[in-house]
Amino acid sequence: MNPQKLPFVKLHGCANDYVLVDAAAHPVADPAALARASADRRTGVGADGLLLVLPPADRARAEARMRMFNPDGGEAEMCGNGLRCLGKFLFDRQRVGREFRVETLAGVCAMRVEATAADGRARELSVEIGVPDFFRGPALDEPFELAGRALRLSALRLGNPHAIVFVDDVDHFPVTSVGPAIERDPRFPERVNVSFVQPTGPDALRQRTWERGVGETLACGSGATAAAIVARRVRGFGPDVAVRVRNGELSVHWDGEGKPARLRGPAVEVFEGVLDVE
């Protein structure tokens, strides 16, 4: 059997990188297998995930639909950096205007192109992530014991489940050992994205994130949004928060309880290519 020739685009938001496939034009039979193969940084393209662009289920509610798969093949409900990359793909190819909506498993997300480059392509985009849902298990700035380590942790759902842990020195915190332990803790049966956050000034944070099914990434958009929301709730931050991730900066606006949060940041197209898929 001859392999399928599958065109793709490589994009990133603050170095949180993705392989994007227009699955409406080029159907993908096994997205989980494609995610595992394409995300491998030695034998594949290399990415933090696979994005599929699909037609919306309801064209009255959205212009496109996104499915996102982690490198382990698991499907995520939504992805802030991935949405901006997908939005750039659509806008640059004149499939949407400056304001548009994208369906995800977490619901419909309103998006906007905030800045363009000299050639007219999207440079910065914002996405309405959704209304945060604080759930038990633990919930908000509660004690969390883990292998003899005393932490304080906040848990919320923002499309995906997130855990936020404030630390004194995020650069030297053992993210790669504590992150996976929290991710797979039985108190989070769905597993959880874990962001370790250090306040650095008024309405400013530094963040490192351990993503479920991925590992530590250089940025996490929904994690940055979750961190800003928790900082407002428990640290008295204002509605606009700058979040410095490992490879850039994201900004979050949240008007408070019952309101949706909006994430803004860059999106970059790196290259196009063709995958041979068995």
Please give the positions annotated as active site: 79, 220
Q: Are 127 and 109 in contact (CB under 8 A)?
A: yes
Cα–Cα distance, 105 to 125 (Å, whole number): 20
Cα–Cα distance, 210 to 194 (Å, whole number): 5
Q: Are 169 and 198 in contact (CB under 8 A)?
A: yes
Helices 221-235 + 80-92 axis angle, to 10: 130
- Cα separations (Å) of 218 from 14, 114, 247? 7, 22, 6
- Single-letter residue type at 2: N
Q: Among 44, 46, 158, 25, which residue's Cα sits nearest to residue 90?
A: 25
Cα–Cα distance, 11 to 47 (Å, whole number): 9
H helices within 103-143, ranges in order?
none
CA atoms within 13 A on the CB side of 213: 23
Cα–Cα distance, 156 to 95 (Å, whole number): 34
